């Protein structure tokens, strides 16, 4: 046999991650820093084992069996091994529970765990994000009955007691524009609400609960008339017959994640709050899942880059290693710089989220969080695709070959920009945040950054963006359309 190329080796995802370790050393008080070390170490170990599994086994997709041998409807979903291990890993290492502890660093501690666990989890983090979002939205609703009922499960440290929650928003008629929702909520004579309709994407279909948007019967049209409902999907370990799984979707990536089309045929439901303004009520969930999305996008970039850097030291071309080739080294350095910026922005969101939730944030920080959440989600979503694509190229032809485990990084990265609000929808959301309730506080905050910056070009670009957002607030007709058409450019400029 002739020359054999060494495969890239994964460094320890926690112990060898300079960025993460430095961040935690800087942000956390010494006692807290020491307390989370064992969980992070264990999640890093698990991530390494999972990478070995990716490289040595044929990947599997979940399988839906709708009928049993005797003709009974069962809608049973067989999950991949990582998904079966999900509840144990999540609860043992307090992935969700950590984020809801009562101290301002709680979200940083949670998202450090998410960052380490995400790729190993095979997108089990998707329903985890939604469960975290549901816990946050229920807390914000102040609905004591539902909080008491669901949160002990969502935030449990015991796998036997742990529940996942879905987020049932998207329908055929509208994923971005949920005002087109067709699902109807009807009230029985005994006062029980029930949901009737079809949800077109449901990624936590194996979960035990969900928050769902629906239109109470007789309510008006449009988004303002939607209500937010809490549902449970299981009865005595069996899926409720009023929840029918039509099929699992065949997707470009996130293959291990069972994303289903479902029908609701009178599924019992409980209003989370008032019977209108459901979008307003679900917004805390959206902001949490968007923060998860940013952290998970950064985790994908980190993995792709770490492997590409390692490979550059193992692969020779034209008489020296790729790492010694100036142009290849420059390519990697450029990618690393973009990744580090995305990492900093995403963890800044985590930091601000924790401070805001624990009432430790200034009004400026709270306003900044509202803006940075869509910016971090949209920018990291796009950057993950770009960096994963570039990283695959760093392996040459090997980057295109399935059993290296590499192509999956690119396939999976494409989803970050689509779900939880597309790039355009979030660019408009960023405009809304800039023009929203606290533009003064935001401008003041951004003004402080600009005062510290010696980059004249960036300063004038940001000023231009802020001015455009303010004009958008007051604009009408064609002028408003023109400003909206530029929203993506404004958002990316601000994020950078
Ligand atoms: C592994 C990685 C982890 C990620 C897991 C992801 C799993 C994937 C699951 C999904 O994809 S779930 C589906 C996600 N769907 C979306 O994200 C919907 C995208 N569309 C939007 O975000 C639209 O902009 C929106 C639905 C919000 C538009 O609805 P409306 O009702 O036409 O908008 P409007 O009038 O702007 O907002 C209604 C209220 O909500 C307003 O408050 P008020 O009623 O008090 O005026 C808004 O200010 C408020 N609001 C909207 N977005 C908000 C918000 N408040 C705070 N934060 C936000 N982001
Ligand atoms: P559309 O809303 O039709 O958007 C099409 C295009 O139009 C996009 O490019 C968008 O940016 C653009 N666009 C729309 N409005 C505007 C505007 N005003 N200005 C400029 N451009 C605009 N949803 C759930 O509710 N629960 C889930 O569990 C879930 N899981 C998912 C899992 C996967 C793998 C995927 C891919 C999606 C999932 N979704 C889920 C759905 C996802 O949230 C939606 O697909 C997404 O919000 C976009 O909605 P849409 O598909 O209807 O696209």
Atom of ligand 1 nearest to the CA of 290: 4
The reply to whether ligand 2 has any atom less than 6 angstroms from the CB of 143 is: no
Atom of ligand 2 nearest to the CA of 176: 2
Ligand 1: residue whose CA is nearest its atom 44: 280
Q: Residue range 205-227: average pLDDT? A: 95
For residue 78, the cross-strand partners are 63
- pLDDT tens digits along 377-409: 999 999 999 999 999 999 999 999 999 999 999
The reply to whether ligand 1 has any atom less than 6 angstroms from the CB of 291 is: no
The reply to whether ligand 2 has any atom less than 6 angstroms from the CB of 293 is: no
pLDDT exceeds cutoff 60 at 291: yes
Q: Ligand 1 test: best mutation among 173, 286, 417, most atoms within 8 Å of CB?
A: 286
**pLDDT given for residue 464 in this prediction:** 79
Fold topology of 18-57+93-122+280-421: Butyryl-CoA Dehydrogenase, subunit A; domain 3 (1.20.140)
Atom of ligand 2 nearest to the CA of 251: 34
Distance 142 CA to ligand 2 centre (A): 29
Separation of alpha carbons 266 and 321, rounded Å: 63
pLDDT exceeds cutoff 90 at 343: yes
Q: Residue range 231-237: average pLDDT? A: 94
Q: Residue range 457-485: average pLDDT? A: 80
Separation of alpha carbons 320 and 93, rounded Å: 43
Distance 328 CA to ligand 1 centre (A): 41
Atom of ligand 2 nearest to the CA of 424: 11
Ligand at minimal distance from the CA of 202 is 2
Ligand 1: residue whose CA is nearest its atom 39: 280
Q: Ligand 2 test: best mutation among 166, 170, 202, 223, most atoms within 8 Å of CB?
A: 170
**pLDDT given for residue 439 in this prediction:** 61
pLDDT exceeds cutoff 70 at 437: no
The reply to whether ligand 1 has any atom less than 6 angstroms from the CB of 331 is: no
**pLDDT given for residue 438 in this prediction:** 57
Cα torsion for 90, 150, 353, 351, to the nearest 10°? -30
Distance 126 CA to ligand 2 centre (A): 15
Ligand 1: residue whose CA is nearest its atom 57: 283
Separation of alpha carbons 259 and 212, rounded Å: 16
Ligand 1: residue whose CA is nearest its atom 1: 126
* Contact yes or no for 210/231 (Cβ under 8 A): yes
Q: Residue range 110-135: average pLDDT? A: 98
Instruction: Locate 363 and state its tokens.
Output: 């009004």
Cα-only R_g, the chain = 23
pTM of the model: 0.97
Q: Ligand 1 test: best mutation among 200, 280, 427, most atoms within 8 Å of CB?
A: 280
Atom of ligand 1 nearest to the CA of 277: 44
**pLDDT given for residue 375 in this prediction:** 97
Ligand at minimal distance from the CA of 293 is 1
Distance 453 CA to ligand 1 centre (A): 33
The reply to whether ligand 1 has any atom less than 6 angstroms from the CB of 170 is: yes
Of 218-227, 382-391, 481-490, which range is least confident?
Answer: 481-490
Domain boundaries, the chain: 18-57+93-122+280-421, 165-277, 432-495
DSSP collapsed to 3 states, the chain: CCCCCCCCCCCCCCCCCHHHHHHHHHHCCHHHHHHHHHHHHHHHHHHHHHHHHHHHCCCCCCEEEEECCCCCEEEEEECCHHHHHHHHHHHHCCCCHHHHCCCCCHHHHHHHHHHHHCCCCCCCHHHHHHHHHHHHHHHHHCCHHHHHHHHHHHCCCCHHHCCCEEEECCECCECCCHHHCCCEEEECCCCCEEEEEEEEEECCCCCCEEEEEEEECCCCCCHHHCEEEEEECEECCEECCCEEEEEECCCCCCCCCCCEEEEEEEEEEEECCCCCCHHHHHHHHHHHHHHHHHHHHHHHHHHHHHHHHHHHHHCEECCEEHHHCHHHHHHHHHHHHHHHHHHHHHHHHHHHHHHHHCCCCCHHHHHHHHHHHHHHHHHHHHHHHHHHHHHHHCCHHHHHCHHHCCHHHHHHHHHHHCCCCCHHHHHHHHHHHHCCCCHHHHHHHHHHHHHHCCCHHHHHHHHHHHHHHHHHHHCCHHHHHHHHHCHHHHHHHHHC
pLDDT exceeds cutoff 90 at 147: yes
Distance 70 CA to ligand 1 centre (A): 44
Distance 248 CA to ligand 2 centre (A): 17
Distance 426 CA to ligand 1 centre (A): 9
The CA-to-CA distance between both ends of the chain, in Å, stands at 49
pLDDT exceeds cutoff 80 at 443: no
Mean pLDDT over each residue of the chain, to the nearest integer: 94
* Contact yes or no for 281/270 (Cβ under 8 A): no
Distance 356 CA to ligand 2 centre (A): 28
- pLDDT tens digits along 56-109: 887 789 999 999 999 999 999 999 999 999 999 999 999 999 999 999 999 999
Atom of ligand 1 nearest to the CA of 373: 59
pLDDT exceeds cutoff 80 at 303: yes
The reply to whether ligand 1 has any atom less than 6 angstroms from the CB of 233 is: no
Atom of ligand 2 nearest to the CA of 203: 28
The reply to whether ligand 2 has any atom less than 6 angstroms from the CB of 251 is: yes
Distance 127 CA to ligand 1 centre (A): 18
Q: Residue range 406-429: average pLDDT? A: 97
Which CATH class for the 165-277 domain?
A: mainly beta
Q: How far is CA 191 from the centre of its chain?
A: 36
Atom of ligand 2 nearest to the CA of 420: 43
Distance 224 CA to ligand 2 centre (A): 19
**pLDDT given for residue 354 in this prediction:** 98
């Amino acid at each position: 046999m002739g020359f054999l190329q060494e495969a890239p080796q994964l460094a320890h995802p926690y112990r060898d991650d300079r960025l993460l370790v430095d961040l935690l050393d800087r942000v956390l008080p010494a006692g807290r820093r020491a307390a989370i070390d064992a969980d992070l170490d264990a999640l890093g170990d698990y991530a390494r084992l999972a990478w070995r599994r990716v490289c040595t086994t044929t990947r599997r997709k979940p399988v839906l069996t709708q009928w049993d041998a005797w003709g009974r409807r069962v809608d049973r979903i067989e999950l991949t091994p990582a998904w079966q291990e999900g509840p144990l890993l999540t609860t043992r290492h307090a992935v969700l529970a950590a984020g809801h502890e009562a101290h301002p660093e709680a979200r940083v501690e949670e998202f450090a765990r998410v960052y380490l666990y995400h790729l190993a989890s095979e997108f089990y983090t998707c329903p985890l994000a939604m469960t975290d979002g549901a816990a946050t939205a229920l807390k914000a609703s102040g609905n004591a009955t539902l909080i008491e009922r669901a949160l002990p499960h969502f935030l449990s440290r015991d796998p036997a007691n742990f529940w996942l929650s879905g987020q049932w928003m998207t329908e055929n008629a509208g994923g971005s524009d949920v005002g087109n929702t067709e699902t109807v909520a009807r009230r029985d004579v005994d006062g029980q609400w029930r949901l009737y309709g079809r949800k077109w994407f449901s990624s936590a279909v194996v979960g035990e609960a969900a928050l769902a948007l629906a239109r109470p019967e007789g309510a008006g049209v449009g988004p303002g008339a939607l209500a937010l409902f809490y549902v449970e999907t299981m009865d005595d370990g069996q899926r409720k017959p009023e929840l029918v799984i039509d099929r699992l979707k065949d997707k470009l990536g996130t293959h291990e994640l069972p994303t289903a089309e479902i029908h609701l045929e009178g599924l019992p439901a409980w209003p989370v709050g008032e019977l209108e303004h459901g979008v307003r009520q679900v917004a805390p969930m959206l902001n949490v899942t968007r923060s998860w999305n940013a952290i998970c996008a950064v985790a994908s970039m980190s993995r792709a880059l770490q492997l590409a850097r390692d490979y550059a030291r193992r692969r020779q071309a034209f008489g020296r290693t790729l790492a010694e080739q100036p142009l290849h080294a420059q390519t990697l350095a450029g990618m690393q710089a973009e990744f580090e910026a995305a990492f900093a922005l995403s963890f800044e969101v985590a930091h601000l989220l924790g401070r805001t939730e624990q009432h430790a944030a200034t009004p400026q920080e709270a306003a900044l969080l509202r803006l940075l959440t869509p910016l971090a989600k949209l920018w990291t979503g796009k950057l993950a695709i770009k960096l994963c694509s570039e990283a695959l190229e760093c392996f040459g032809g090997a980057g295109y070959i399935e059993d290296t485990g590499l192509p999956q990084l690119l396939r999976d990265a494409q989803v970050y920009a689509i779900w939880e609000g597309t790039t355009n929808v979030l660019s408009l959301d960023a405009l809304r945040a800039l023009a929203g309730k606290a533009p003064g506080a935001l401008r003041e905050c951004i003004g402080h950054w600009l005062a510290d910056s010696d980059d004249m070009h960036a300063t004038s670009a940001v000023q231009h963006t802020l001015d455009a957002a303010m004009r958008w607030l007051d604009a009408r007709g064609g002028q408003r359309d023109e400003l909206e058409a530029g929203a993506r450019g404004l958002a990316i400029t601000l994020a950078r």
